[in-house]
Amino acid sequence: MDNDRDAACERFRTLGHPATRGRGEILRILAESPLPLSPREIRERIPNPKPDASTVYRNLTLMVSIGLVRSVALHERSRRYEAATDGAHRHRVVCRTCGRIESFQPKRCDLSRIENDIRGALGFDVTDHSLEFFGACAACGGKKVKR
């Protein structure tokens, strides 16, 4: 939807950053993807003319810093990114055999107790966390671990 992209552009302006087509596309693509995407995957999905790869990287960095996007670390060579929709707190489930990534929304995710422990023990102010699960997906059953 173009509306998604327009809304995305609006968010940029509000935050004091010029809205460009590339930025709108990136945000739209992330908003529409159920799974976190790598910079390469994001760029591939942008219709021509595609922005340069460096532009994609620069914008992802910016978007993370202003809170529009989050990065997800999944033990891969490349980082992945997802839209920072506040509502849906989701976790990733990664198959060690085939690499498939699924998304899971827990009934409740209460790590605040642990976060408080950390604050107490290390004086560390926790702002967010990252929780991923690994194993074998339904299709791969109990097959051998790949790595």
Q: Contact positions toward DNA, by CB under 7 A?
A: 9, 12-13, 17-23, 38-40, 49-55, 57-59, 61-62, 77-79
Q: Are 72 and 82 in contact (CB under 8 A)?
A: yes
Q: How many residues bind a second copy (CB under 8 A)?
A: 46
**With left for phi above 0 and alpha for psi between -120 and 50, is residue 141 left, alpha or beta?**
left
Q: Is 35 in the site for a second copy (CB under 8 A)?
A: no
Distance CA 23, CA 62 (A): 10
Q: Which does 95 bind (CB under 5 to 8 A by kind): a second copy, DNA, none?
A: a second copy
Distance CA 47, CA 35 (A): 19
Q: Which does 98 bind (CB under 5 to 8 A by kind): a second copy, DNA, none?
A: none
Q: Which does 90 bind (CB under 5 to 8 A by kind): a second copy, DNA, none?
A: none
With the C-alpha atoms ordered 11, 14, 20, 23, is the resulting torsion angle positive or negative? negative
**Of 21 and 146, which has the nearer Cβ to a second copy?**
146
Q: Which of the residues 64 through 93 are near a second copy (CB under 8 A)?
A: 64-65, 71, 73-76, 79, 91, 93
Using DSSP's 3-state secondary structure scheme, residue 94 falls into strand
Q: Are strands 80-83 and 69-72 parallel, antiparallel or unpaired?
A: antiparallel
Distance CA 103, CA 33 (A): 11
Binding site for a second copy (CB under 8 A): 61, 64-65, 71, 73-76, 79, 91, 93, 95-96, 102, 104, 106-107, 109, 111, 114-115, 117-118, 121-138, 141-142, 145-147
